[in-house]
Chains A and B, each alone.
Chain A
Amino acid sequence: ETGVTQSPTHLIKTRGQQVTLRCSSQSGHNTVSWYQQALGQGPQFIFQYYREEENGRGNFPPRFSGLQFPNYSSELNVNALELDDSALYLCASSFPTGSNTEAFFGQGTRLTVV
């Protein structure tokens, strides 16, 4: 069984550019969530995908978008990057069954916007 993997681990982008972050979910997991963790803060929910459909979204603007593929891997796209987008982006996968909704996190992608 493989865990959640994210790529790249680090990324530097210029303000105004676009970025794509990738996540491979844990084997057998059909749900992927993305979180933004700014320095000194807890992770903040961006959105969640279940079976290729977005089924939950946090308080983030539309320039944050995502995709989930048939193999349940996922992408987070951010357009028109701003300096405040600099953060650690975490992906978490799960296979919700009844009361078991444990989310397994990846190691994160550190995005720096200059």
Chain B
Amino acid sequence: AQRVTQPEKLLSVFKGAPVELKCNYSYSGSPELFWYVQYSRQRLQLLLRHISRESIKGFTADLNKGETSFHLKKPFAQEEDSAMYYCALKGAGSYQLTFGKGTKLSVIP
């Protein structure tokens, strides 16, 4: 069975402070990992995926297979980063996304 755990329901940081949103997963093979974001009154949208190894809006995430983690990081938080963040996993040969429960990031001005 595949599972995604986001231990923090809410994370509050001050503007300019570093941000780390935690994501741990359980999957027996090689998964594909994603971060989705939902800004207020907007639809769920892809932020980044591990296979792209890219930085989007200053966010990065590295897949750590040893620790089965895919934490989302940003060195300096901005007010516009306030949103709901979901970590998601896709198993090999499957199109099904398994989501975590989400972390609400609140950036305090």
Contacts and interface: CB of A to CB of B under 8 A. Distances in A.
Same complex for A and B? Answer yes
Interface of A: 4, 31, 33, 35, 40-45, 48, 50, 55-56, 58, 90, 92, 94, 96, 99, 101-108
Given A33-B95, A94-B95, A101 B100 contact: no
A101 B86 contact: no
Contacts of A40: 101
Contacts of B51: 99
Given A90-B44, A99-B51, A41 B101 contact: yes
Nearest to A59: B1
A106 B44 CA distance: 8
Contacts of B99: 35, 42-44
13 contacts: A42-B4, A42-B99, A43-B44, A43-B97, A44-B99, A45-B96, A48-B95, A56-B96, A58-B96, A94-B95, A101-B90, A105-B45, A107-B43
Contacts of A35: 97, 99
Contacts of B4: 42
Which 10 A/B pairs are nearest by Cβ-Cβ distance?
Answer: A42-B99, A105-B44, A45-B96, A107-B43, A43-B99, A42-B101, A105-B43, A42-B100, A42-B102, A42-B86
Given A42-B86, A42-B102, A43-B86, A101 B95 contact: yes
Contacts, number: 54
A14 to B, nearest CB: 28
Contacts of A33: 95-97
A106 B43 contact: yes
Interface of B: 4, 6, 32, 43-46, 49, 51, 86, 88, 90, 94-102
Residue among B4, B44, B86 with the most chain A CB within 10 A?
Answer: B44
A58 to B, nearest CB: 7
Contacts of A48: 95-96
Nearest to A47: B96
Contacts of B43: 4, 105-108
A96 B95 CA distance: 9
B34 to A, nearest CB: 9
